[in-house]
Amino acid sequence: MQTKDNQIIVVNNLYKTFNDNIHALNGVNISVNKGEVVTIIGPSGSGKSTLLRCMNLMEVPTSGNVFFKGEALHIKDKNINQLREKMGMVFQSFNLFPHLSVLENITLSPKLVLKMSDEKAKELGASLLNQVGLSDKIDSYPNQLSGGQKQRVAIARALAMNPDVMLFDEPTSALDPEMVGEVLQVMRNLANQGMTMVIVTHEMNFAKDVSDRVIFMAEGEIIEIGEPTQLFNKPKEVRTQTFLKRVL
């Protein structure tokens, strides 16, 4: 399949079945363009995380293809890790290395994978921490940080590999309410800087503000996809209408 130059990710007819009988994805098609912010909303169990995880082959599709910058991803390719590094992933549960300082969490991959010098890596780490508003935490350890601070470090760590796209799976769902805003602000800034982003979120106001397109999923399918004003204010599909009535 030929993808267009401005398409960073193309998902083509993707199916994912768990244990032979759980149909998590049932023929999903979506492309994400350079600089675009695409958010995915939908009820729990609708396949949002599975779709996101299939995009970088953390989950191997049962059938269908994922293209990243024009290349079909195959789990057995020897360059799969290189491609994956260009897709930053941020999870609900931070996943920082507890025994490493904030700076070391951020510089580990650039040093190991990109063979960046200590000096250059430290410079990069400091600049990313400045970007997420945590310059004063450079020598702290994860257990000395609040949830919102941990998540901002996780974002900085993903950015350290200079990714072409950032994938976020409910990045604020594990946070106390007063910390949600600071993480969303960092994500907003990234979007404004032109970062390509795919975001699974329950933060509907954020999705409305920041998205170029919103995807509504249910039962492993994309039910509706549209610009935020259309999808939130004038949803076409009954299932979208029902879902939005419940959550808005």
**Residues found near ligand ADP in the complex (CB under 6 A):** 18-19, 22, 24, 42, 44-50
Cβ-proximal residues to 141 (8 Å cutoff; 6+ apart), any chain: 98, 99, 100, 101, 102
Task: Read off the tokens for 62.
Answer: 């049962």
Q: In this complex, which beta carbon is closest to Mg ion, that of residue 59 or of residue 224?
A: 59
Applying CB under 5 A, which part among 19-27, 44-52, 127-135, 212-220 lies near Mg ion? 44-52
Shortest separation between residue 42's beta carbon and ligand ADP, angstroms: 6
Q: In this complex, which beta carbon is closest to Mg ion, that of residue 48 or of residue 111?
A: 48
One-letter amino acid for residue 57 of the chain? L
Burial degree of 58 (CB within 10 A; 0-12, 13-18, 19+): middle
Shortest separation between residue 227's beta carbon and Mg ion, angstroms: 24
d(CA 223, CA 237): 7
Using alpha carbons only, how large is the chain's radius of gyration in Å? 18
Q: In this complex, which beta carbon is closest to ligand ADP, that of residue 19 or of residue 81?
A: 19
Q: Which of 39, 46, 49, 101 binds Mg ion (CB under 5 A)?
A: 49
Shortest separation between residue 51's beta carbon and ligand ADP, angstroms: 7
Separation in Å, CA 142 to CA 93, 146, 154, 158: 12, 8, 10, 16
Count the site residues for Mg ion by CB under 5 A: 2
Cβ-proximal residues to 93 (8 Å cutoff; 6+ apart), any chain: 174
Q: Which does 46 bind (CB under 5 to 8 A by kind): Mg ion, ligand ADP, none?
A: ligand ADP
Shortest separation between residue 157's beta carbon and ligand ADP, angstroms: 22
Q: Which does 24 bind (CB under 5 to 8 A by kind): ligand ADP, Mg ion, none?
A: ligand ADP
